[in-house]
Structures are given as C-alpha cells and as structure tokens.
C-alpha cells in the first residue's frame, strides 16, 4: 500500500508551504492524481487521516481529483481518453502512442488559516 508513502511526502510538502505562508492550520488540500498512479482514493483518505494526526494538517479535508489517462496517437495525431487497460487508438488502431496525462501526482492547492 504505497498510499502511506504518498501521504507522507504530501504532508511534508504541505508543512513546508504552510510555514512559508505563515499558516497555523491547514483546512483543505487538493491533490490531482493520474489514474496511471494506481492510487486507491479510499486508501489515500485513510492514510491521510491516520498520518495527519498531530500535524498542521490534522482535521483538514483532503480532496482528490482523478486525472484521466489522455493519449495522443503518433500515427494519426488524434488525442483520446483511455477507458480500458488496452491502449490502441480508437481512430486508426495505431499503437504508437504518447501519454499526455494520467501520471500526475500534484498538490493542486492548500487552504489554511494564517497566524495572527
């Protein structure tokens, strides 16, 4: 279950950003995670709740935005969203493909309260 290692790194990054912005509390974290990362959102939520105790992010809401797998066919130059595990261009049946999105693991935004 790699969700705990992901959350560990997210919490470290969030803490750094919170300190730089003089937050005394983080209220919300939005993550953008590509479907190719094979992250289970429920496990990620569980890992977040368990790991954020006694941190600046304790009690914060974690919002996860799943980024679809978008592919460009290098044969016909058309883009499409991969719906299955088989990656074949639905337009020309080409197999020379470039992944445009779906690998992301980004902290999209952090909301919090600034110290007085």
Question: Which domains, ranges and CATH numbers included, belong to the chain?
Answer: 3-67+102-114 (3.30.2320.50)
Q: Which residue in the block uniquely carries the two structure tokens 């509390």?
A: 25
pLDDT at position 84 is 77
pLDDT at position 1 is 58
Determine contact, residues 54/25, Cβ cutoff 8 Å. Answer: no
Reduce the DSSP state of residue 69 to 3 states and report it: coil
Q: Which residue in the block uniquely carries the two structure tokens 């300190």?
A: 19
Of 87, 63, 84, the closest CA to residue 75 belongs to: 87
Task: List, for the chain, all residue ranges whose pLDDT scores fall below the cut of 50.
Answer: none
Helices marked H in the chain — which ranges? 3-20, 41-51
pLDDT at position 59 is 95
Tokens of 3: 């969700």
């Amino acid at each position: 279950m790699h969700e705990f290692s992901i959350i560990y790194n997210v919490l470290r990054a969030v803490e750094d950003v919170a300190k730089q912005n003089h937050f005394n509390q983080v209220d919300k974290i939005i993550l953008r995670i590509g479907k190719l990362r094979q992250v289970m959102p429920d496990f990620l939520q569980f890992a977040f709740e368990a790991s954020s105790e006694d941190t600046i992010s304790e009690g914060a809401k974690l919002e996860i935005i799943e980024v679809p797998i978008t592919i460009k066919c290098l044969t016909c130059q058309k883009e499409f969203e991969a719906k299955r595990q088989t990656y074949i261009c639905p337009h020309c049946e080409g197999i020379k493909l470039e992944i445009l999105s779906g690998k992301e693991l980004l902290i999209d935004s952090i909301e919090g309260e600034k110290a007085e």
